[in-house]
Structure 1
Amino acid sequence: MSMPTNPSFDIAHLAHVEMYTDKFEESLDFFTRVYGLKLSGSDETSAYLRAWDDYEYCSLKLTRSDRTGLGHVAYRTSSPQALERRAKIIEASGFEVIGWVEGDESHGRAFRFEDPFGHVFEIYWETRWYEAQDAAEKAALKNTASSFTGAAPRRLDHLNLLSSDVREFGRFMETCLGARVTEIIQLDNGRLGGCWFTINNKTYDLACTEEHGGGVGRLHHVTYATDQREDILRAADIFLQNGVHIETGPHKHAVQGTFFLYVWEPAGNRVELANAGARLILAPDWQPIVWTEADRKKGQAWGLKTIETFHTHGTPPVKKEH
């Protein structure tokens, strides 16, 4: 997996994730009352949610559906010109192109395309900035987007997608989004078990890990960042109090070094709270950190073995043949 030394920076940042739920009211209650996201608005099919320091109107689009999992992943470009330039690159890439689509309550027109595993991506420039509508929503500090409640996630941080060929997914990310690779898991059989991508100076904003559950185009998890590690410890108590299924954590990942807590929202989508600290990738010639299979079998950073469902659970669930 290569690490370009002159990334284009046509893409500014991970902007939002659309998540499908077949238990819309329960999921919305979880994300607002328990998890602590803000409801910016809604339409016939979706609720537009954001964390207290997300500047955009929406970072999680929660959509009514008869299934769970990923609707689409959205990145914002660095300029209108970058949007047009990157769209042409994607059209010439050989990957599946959906084309231009109209925006929604949160942003303007977008260019959509697919990875080889069925995950839908879009890029856009025109966006709607969040504006607090009342005193309760307004932050005390002018450089903070809004007030906070609940588990109080600060911003959308990253998501993890599942694929049957992580190396091919990496080629998609590098070609279509100009992404760089920061860390990988190299398996003994020559395959990549996982790959972490960034399009700016964050350590990563998207991860892809190998699909072990037999599914196609599935979501592993969506992650919001907390302000500090103690927020995650408090969140664990909040989830416990509200009967939320805590899958694993609080604990610390070896890969990327994030302090984490994984839960399942009412429809079964996995959601993470993580504290990535101040770790940034500032080196223009950064070389990916390689974790071996032996490294990963040691477990998480402090020796906790990875729970089995972490390798097999994704959304939508795989229907088992009888």
Structure 2
Amino acid sequence: MHETRPHHEIAHLACIELCSPDPAGSEWFFTQLLGMYVTERRGQSVYLRGYEDPYPWSLKITEGPTPRMVHASLRTSSADALHRRVRAVAAAGLGDGWIDGDFGHGPAYRFHTPDGHELRLLWEAEQYLAPPDLRSKILTRPSKKPLHGVPVRRIDHLNLMAADVSAVRRTCEDLLGMRTRERLVDGDAEVGTWMSSNNLGHEVAVMRDARGALGRFHHVAFYYGVAQHNADAAEMFREQGVPIEAGPDRHGISQGAFLYVFEPGGNRVELFGDPGVLVLEPDFRTRTWTMDEIDVGMAIGGAQLPWETYFTYGTPPVEAPHDGTTGAATSDPAPVPD
């Protein structure tokens, strides 16, 4: 029998790999606009980090024909915790086996959610050591704040799309020990869930895929910490022709300041901060939102999150179901520059 509800064995979200059909454009977006540092290049991949990310990279961009999430890695709280979680995942029939380490971290265990998203568990990770010219005088900051773009601090969370939200939630709770902080229901159906294994309001969110597809990716979020930076970034994106989907505003769910944009490769990116809910009490009670509260849940200030993209577009893009009126199939709309 596999182990269940093992709290505090997952420390945090460590890194994510995205596939981009426009790797040069994606690198320009993350380095020149979001101020991320390039730390390594290997083959068709480039590795990047925000100035407060603790490891050599939090984002890996790999060239490929279709935008999508390749994988996301969660770091455990110890070597023993890693092996306990691996045993639990393997016993549940979701494991894919061990892989050799990537740049900056040791061996990782690959597994998939019931919906098909690839996640990895790891323990061994190098602490980032900045070269002398990038070392910060602030001792808790791994590197200097860049002087270009509107620099992000660190990776914050990811949002997955799923045909069955509850199945993915149960996997994260029972096998990884995550706790559900908030959820959204439509009658008896769970359509959204926000989970974390630490004090953050969420590090992994799951939302129902309106296309009914499996294993798709909604967005990765990077943390600013100051809501004003979202307004500054919105102005920068307008000037540079980067498609803005929604915001700036503040979510009721998570209470985080948000701004959603599309990077040139076609993946959705959220700029997040200020700082959202921090869960300090050990007996925190899950908050359940209903669809009649969705306007406040999505945007306290009334920003519109457009149905034609926000609730349907994910990567990789998929064909939409046939329209009952016209009988014509449509595809996920591609992001259009401002």
With the shorter chain as reference, the TM-score category is: over 0.9
Taking only aligned residues, the RMSD between alpha carbons, in angstroms, comes to: 1.6
Shift of 1:213: 2.7
Kept after mapping to 2: 8 A contact 1:186/1:193: yes
Q: Deviations over 1:54-100 (max 9, x none)?
A: 11011111111111111001001111111111111111123x21111
Q: Is the 8 A contact 1:93 1:175 kept in 2?
A: no
Please state if 1:146 is matched with 2:143: yes
Deviation at 1:253, TM superposition (A): 0.8
Correspondence list, 1:102-117, <5 A: 102-117=100-115
Rounded Cα–Cα distance in structure 2 between residues aligned with 1:215 and 1:303:
29
**Aligned partner letter, 2:241:** G
Mapped to 1, the partners of 2:76 and 2:247 lie a distance apart of 34
1:133, distance to aligned residue in structure 2 (A): 1.8
Q: Please state whether the residue corresponding to 2:282 is helix, strand or coil.
A: coil
Could you list the per-position Cα deviations for residues 111-142 of structure 1 after superposition, in whole angstroms to 9, with x for gaps in the alignment?
A: 1100111100101011122111241x222312
Give the TM-score normalised by structure 1.
Answer: 0.94
- The aligned counterpart of 2:131 is 133
Letter paired with 2:319:
K
CA shift for structure 1 position 8:
2.5
Structure 2 CA distance for aligned equivalents of residues 304 and 236 of structure 1: 14
Task: Measure the CA separation in 2 of the matches of 1:176 and 1:147.
Answer: 37
Most deviating of 6-15 and 169-178: 6-15
User: Across the two proteins, how many residue pairs are aligned to each other?
Assistant: 315
Do the aligned partners of residues 305 and 237 (structure 1) sit closer, same or farther apart at CA in structure 2, a change above 3 Å counting? closer
Q: Partners of 1:65 and 1:134 in 2: how far apart?
A: 35
- What does 1:43-192 align with in structure 2 at a 5 Å threshold? 43-94=42-93, 96-135=94-133, 137-149=134-146, 150-188=149-187, 190-192=188-190
Counterpart residue number, 2:335: none
| Equivalent position of 1:232 in the other structure | 230
CA contact (8 A) 2:245 2:305 kept: no
> 1:276: Cα distance to partner?
4.1
Name the stretch that deviates more: 15-24 or 148-157. 148-157
The answer to whether the 8 A contact 2:117-2:216 is kept is yes
Counterpart of 2:35?
A: 36
Query: Matches of 2:92 and 2:8 in 1, distance apart?
Result: 18
| Deviates further, 264-273 or 282-291 | 282-291
SS at 1:15 equivalent: strand
Do the aligned partners of 1:21 and 1:68 also contact (CA within 8 Å) in 2?
yes
CA distance in 1, matches of 2:46, 2:273: 26
For residues 136-167 of structure 1, the C-alpha deviation after alignment (integer angstroms, 9 at most, x for no partner) is x2223122111223221111110100001111
C-alpha deviation, 1:278, in angstroms = 6.2
Structure 1 residue 27: Cα displacement: 0.7
Supply the AA of the counterpart residue of 2:51.
W
Task: Give the whole-Å Cα distance in 1 for the aligned partners of 2:109 and 2:116.
Answer: 16
Structure 2 runs not aligned, ≥5 long: 321-328, 331-338
Q: Which runs of 4+ in 1 moved over 6 A?
A: none
Equivalent pair of 1:90/1:175 in contact (CA under 8 Å): no
SS in 1 for 2:140: coil
